[in-house]
Each structure stands twice: as C-alpha cells, then as structure tokens.
C-alpha cells in the first residue's frame, strides 16, 4: 500500500495543489455461496465448512 508521501502532487499555478488520480483495477474474483451481506460471517470461524474459490486474473 502506498503512503500519502508516495502519491505524486502537482502544484497548481493559482496556488494550492492537486493530488494525482488513483485508479483501482480488479486482480481477481472471490466466489462464495453468500449473495449479500446479511448472514455473511465476518470472522473465519463463522464460516466453518463453507466452500469458496478465489480466481486470480
């Protein structure tokens, strides 16, 4: 993860600064039997026995 100091900054001629645009691109997909957040466990112990897969592009 990049720290705030690593993000390029452009200085605007009228004063102030403009931070560079950060773009996120997916690197994969996680497939689980959960279709929405309701009932989805927030800790691994709550999903004991649940199968899922990770697809990395």
| pLDDT at residue number 44 | 86
Q: Pick the more confident residue, 4 or 37.
A: 37
CA dist 47 and 38 (Å) reads: 13
| pLDDT at residue number 4 | 57
Convert the pLDDT of each residue in 7-27 to its tens digit. 666 666 666 666 778 899 999
CA dist 9 and 26 (Å) reads: 25
Residue 28 neighbours by CB under 8 Å, 6+ apart: 54, 55, 56, 57
| pLDDT at residue number 12 | 62
Give one DSSP letter per residue of 15-48, joined into a string: SSEEEPP------EEEE-S--SSTT--SSGGGGT
| pLDDT at residue number 19 | 72
């Amino acid at each position: 993860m990049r720290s705030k100091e690593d993000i390029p900054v452009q200085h605007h001629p009228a004063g102030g600064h403009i931070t560079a645009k950060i773009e996120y691109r997916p690197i994969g997909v996680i497939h689980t039997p959960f279709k929405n957040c309701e009932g989805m466990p927030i800790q691994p112990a709550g999903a004991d026995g649940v199968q899922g897969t990770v697809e990395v592009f």
